[in-house]
Amino acid sequence: MFRAVGDQELFQETTRRFLEVEVPLAKVRDLAGTTDGYEPSFWRQGAQLGWTSLLVPEDAGGGSISGHGVVDLALVAYEFGLHAAPGPLIGTNVVAAALGRWGTDDQRAGPLADLLAGDAAGAWAHAEPAPNDGLGDLALTATRSGDGFSLHGVKSPVEAGRQAAYILVSARHESGPTQFLIPSNAPGLMIKPLHGLDMTRRHARLEFDGVTVPSTHLVGRPGSAGANIDWLLDLAVSIQLAEMCGALTWAFDTTVDWAFNRYSFGRPLASYQELKHRFADMKMWLEASCAISADAAAAMDRDQAQRSERVSAGKFYVGRYGPELMQDCVQMHGGIGVTFDHDLHLFLRRIVTDVPTYGTPGQHAARLTGILAGADR
Amino acid sequence: MSDTTDVEDVESFAARARAWLAANMPRPPDESRRDPSDDSDEEELRRVARSRRLQRLLYDGGFAGICVPSAYGGQGLTLAHQLAFNEEIADYDYPTETQLPTFTPCLPVILEFGTEDQKNTHIPPMLRGETAWMQLLSEPSGGSDVAAALTTAARDGDEWVLNGSKIWTTGAWWADWGLCLARTNWDVPKHRGLSVFMLDMHQPGIEIHRIEMLNGSREFCQEFLTDVRVPESLRVGAVDGGWTVGVRWMLHERTVLGQSPYVTGEPVRRRLGQGPGGGVAPLLQRARDLGLLTDPKASELIGEVFAMSVVGSTLGSHIAEGIRTGRLAEDAGAITRLYVGTSAVRNASIAFELAGLSAIAWSDSEAELGKRGIDYLMRQAACIGGGTTEMSRNVISERVLGMPRERAFDRDVPFRDVPRSAPQR
Ligand SMILES: Cc1cc2nc3c(=O)[nH]c(=O)nc-3n(C[C@H](O)[C@H](O)[C@H](O)COP(=O)(O)OP(=O)(O)OC[C@H]3O[C@@H](n4cnc5c(N)ncnc54)[C@H](O)[C@@H]3O)c2cc1C
């Protein structure tokens, strides 16, 4: 329901076919038992299809399909949601986008090239555990230490934190928000895998107990990353929203089919007005979710207020009504809806995991008020 | 929609509109200087008169009826031109009071089903702001089941004689014309015995009563039709073919909230901004006054109201595009209708909650907060007017998702034998 135009159509179709063949739901279930949740060859092939290069400028080895890379990537993300596909899509793209925009020549030649080729994954280490889990909170500190910096603090949960070779860390320096790109084998960095609801994606807790990094690991100047981190947050959410829409579409379509084919008292479920009305509400939630999510992706190249307005309105809406839609799909299925055998929970798990990730719906609503109050002053 | 082959391109049209608006169109009146408690008839008539003047201004400037063929006084352009114009006019005043239902559904119904004569006679005065139209659909016996109209039209030579009652007609007391659905045959099934008439609201036999709503508004009217004579030349569509007209009529009514080619302004965003709860601006102001802008609960609720309006404005164009590309059935406008109703309800609840105790008992200086309480009492109107949200849910499930229709007890039975509500009023 994200409308592809021109060359995007073939691009989206190619990703769709690839996911259908490579990660059908039976395969997704098999992969669920593995440590990483995806195979390196799968990711490398995806990179060849363009999954990792869309947000990176051409002079850094990337390139978009339509001239608007986030909109292109949203189409991929939608397909990921639709297929419950594993793989470090958001983290890798956030890191690649950051290096493409603000990276040094060395960072572009090494890490970025690896990400573009699909030889390595990226992770965005931004969120922190309570009580530092407010939107915009940043407690991990970076202090000068010799020629470099010393990092103290915790990032958690970090998606693909253990799978990624390169980690983009946001930190608080005395001069302001600062970003670093560090290798996952940086001395002193503790990466602890977490248990999680999602069967397709992995999360980790990253502990920085005086991890020293050289100045060459800085992404941008110290203290200058505030606006950049804000942009990355909007970027991560806009990709996440497209993914959520894909997952919601799968659940809705599957449940509509079920309602036509499941009989009770001699008639299909789809003939009962009480259920029809709930399907009407679900259809509204789904269409509104897709509308605002497509708009949020398209707004990523606008100025901060317009961009964040769309993104936060999207995260509020999809985050609030997406899970309602999923749970209603479960309800309409009856008992089978809460079984492990039925595929619905693969999608339910993803949606529920997405809701608080990169800001809760409530936090994004409050952020909107901040934007309004700022514009109004 | 266009009647010429070399249509002005949208960019140059928009540039022309921008220049014209800057030179001619007033800015919206300052709401803060208007006494919000003034809902007197005089105030309403002033607003209607202003609306008519603005419409005339658009007409003289060549921006009325952008998608109406030039033969009937319009501009013969496309939906893209109308949407571009809506963007341009966003910061200006526009004819709010006379926009609906005149320009949709009444105008497109006449365009689609009217005779050449009817179109020549009735469309240009609409575009000039001279005639405001009403829709006479609902009756005391029921509004959801529109096709069960009891108001009867009997033929008498080349005239029709109408008897019955219509109700819930907003603004009928100052309107000029009405589009009226009436029964012309009681001996056939419900849908096959209806016809549509254009009704001059000022003619003898039409008695208009004002109905007081629980918030004190007296905008609603009930019309009693007693031997109202309507010439054959004012019948729209075929005799007993009124439901063919009615189906398109309902469809156009639902485009009110999406993208109608005939409506000027941005109905969805503005309605959400002005609907129950009064939009986000007063909430923000109150939070600022009380120092609540940093209160997490208050800022979440205010942000929610704003988010719902942002989502609503993107949903309108998303659905309209879905219909244009064929991804969605034409009836999908019901999705937007359902959204507007349910989000208005939520917004009214939030505004009430944020207003605190002053919403239930207020001093003179707190009248604005008291209004939040009254709005809350009127909350469900957003889910009733323009067809209820239950009916939208029926339409979405049956006509958009293709689910089985509800069992009907009024098919294939002469209408006079169909069970109906006990007489009211
Ligand atoms: C603000 C506002 C403006 C209005 N403007 C106009 C106007 O300009 N012109 C005009 O003609 N009318 C107008 N109306 C009237 C409005 O269209 C009707 O009130 C509405 O269609 C419902 O009809 P009713 O009031 O007779 O309720 P009923 O039709 O009696 O319905 C009562 C309840 O039963 C539900 N219901 C009925 N049938 C079904 C079904 N098949 N399945 C499920 N639920 C069902 C309804 O949803 C409702 O909740 C307006 C109303 C409002 C509030």
Q: CA–CA separation, A292 vs A295, rounded Å? A: 5
Residue B179 touches partner A, C-beta closer than 8 Å: no
- pLDDT score recorded for residue B191: 96
Closest CA to A269 of A339, A345, A343, A334: A334
* A283–B396 C-beta distance less than 8 A: yes
- Superfamily (CATH) of domain B135-245: Butyryl-CoA Dehydrogenase, subunit A, domain 2 (2.40.110.10)
Instruction: Please report which helix (H) or strand (E) contains residue B155, including its range.
Output: strand B152-156
Q: CA–CA separation, A245 vs A78, rounded Å? A: 6
- pLDDT score recorded for residue B420: 86
- pLDDT score recorded for residue A236: 98
State mean pLDDT over B118-135.
97
Closest CA to B277 of B340, B351, B367, B382: B351
Q: Is the pLDDT of residue B251 over 60?
A: yes
CB pairs under 8 A between A and B: 134
Q: Closest ligand 1 atom, CA of B145?
A: 29
Give me the CATH topology for the region A123-217: Butyryl-CoA Dehydrogenase, subunit A; domain 2 (2.40.110)
Classify domain A226-376 by CATH architecture.
Answer: Up-down Bundle (1.20)
Classify domain A7-120 by CATH architecture.
Answer: Orthogonal Bundle (1.10)
- pLDDT score recorded for residue B256: 65
CATH 2.40.110.10 domain extents, chain B: 135-245
Min Cα–Cα distance to chain A from B44, Å: 30
How many other C-beta atoms can be found within 10 angstroms of the C-beta atom of residue A224?
Answer: 17
Q: CA–CA separation, B397 vs B386, rounded Å? A: 18
Find how far residue B220's CA is from the centre of its chain.
13
> Per DSSP, what are the bridge partners of residue A182?
A167
Q: CA–CA separation, B28 vs B95, rounded Å? A: 10
- pLDDT score recorded for residue B272: 37
State mean pLDDT over B341-356.
93
What does residue B228 show for φ and ψ, rounded to 5 degrees? -80, 120
Residue B30 touches partner A, C-beta closer than 8 Å: no
Looking at per-residue pLDDT, the higher value among B4 and A311 belongs to A311
Q: Closest ligand 1 atom, CA of B101?
A: 8
- pLDDT score recorded for residue B270: 45
**Strand B220-231 versus strand B159-170 pairing type:** antiparallel
Q: Which of A3, A273, A372 sits opposite B306 (nearest CB)?
A: A372
- pLDDT score recorded for residue B36: 53
Enumerate the domain spans of chain A: 7-120, 123-217, 226-376
Give me the CATH topology for the region B10-132: Butyryl-Coa Dehydrogenase, subunit A; domain 1 (1.10.540)
- pLDDT score recorded for residue A145: 95
Q: If 0-12 CB within 10 Å is exposed, 13-18 middle and 19+ buried, where does residue B161 land?
A: middle
The answer to whether domain B276-400 has CATH 1.20.140.10 is yes
Q: Is the pLDDT of residue B1 over 50?
A: no
- pLDDT score recorded for residue B293: 86
Average pLDDT taken over every residue of chain B = 90
pLDDT under 50: residue ranges of chain A: 377
- pLDDT score recorded for residue B287: 87
CATH 1.10.540.10 domain extents, chain B: 10-132
Residue B313 touches partner A, C-beta closer than 8 Å: no
Confidence band, pLDDT 50/70/90 cuts, at residue B258:
low
Q: Which of B303, B308, B318 sits opposite A291 (nearest CB)?
A: B318
Looking at per-residue pLDDT, the higher value among B241 and B424 belongs to B241
Residue of A272, A273, A281 with the most ligand 1 atoms within 8 Å of its CB, for mutation: A273
Confidence band, pLDDT 50/70/90 cuts, at residue B276:
very low
Query: Whose CA is closest to atom 13 on ligand 1?
Result: B168
ipTM, interface predicted TM-score of the complex: 0.91
Rounded alpha-carbon distances, angstroms, from residue B177 to A265, A296, B106, B172, B199: 50, 43, 10, 9, 6
Q: CA–CA separation, B371 vs B380, rounded Å? A: 15
Min Cα–Cα distance to chain A from B330, Å: 15
Which residues' Cβ are closer than 6 Å to ligand 1? Answer: B 135-138, 142-144, 168-170, 381, 384-385, 387-388, 390-391, 394
Confidence band, pLDDT 50/70/90 cuts, at residue B273:
very low
What would the pLDDT profile of B409-422 be if each residue is shown by its tens digit? 998 999 999 998 87
What would the pLDDT profile of B168-196 be if each residue is shown by its tens digit? 998 899 999 999 999 999 999 999 999 99
Here the tokens at position B317 are 């164009």
User: CB of A273 within 8 A of CB of B405?
Assistant: no
Q: Which residues of A touch B (CB under 8 A)?
A: 1, 3, 256, 259-260, 267-268, 270-271, 273, 276-277, 279-281, 283-284, 287-288, 290-292, 294-295, 309-310, 312-314, 316-317, 362, 364-370, 372-373, 376
* B303–A364 C-beta distance less than 8 A: yes
Q: Give the predicted TM-score (pTM) of the model.
A: 0.93
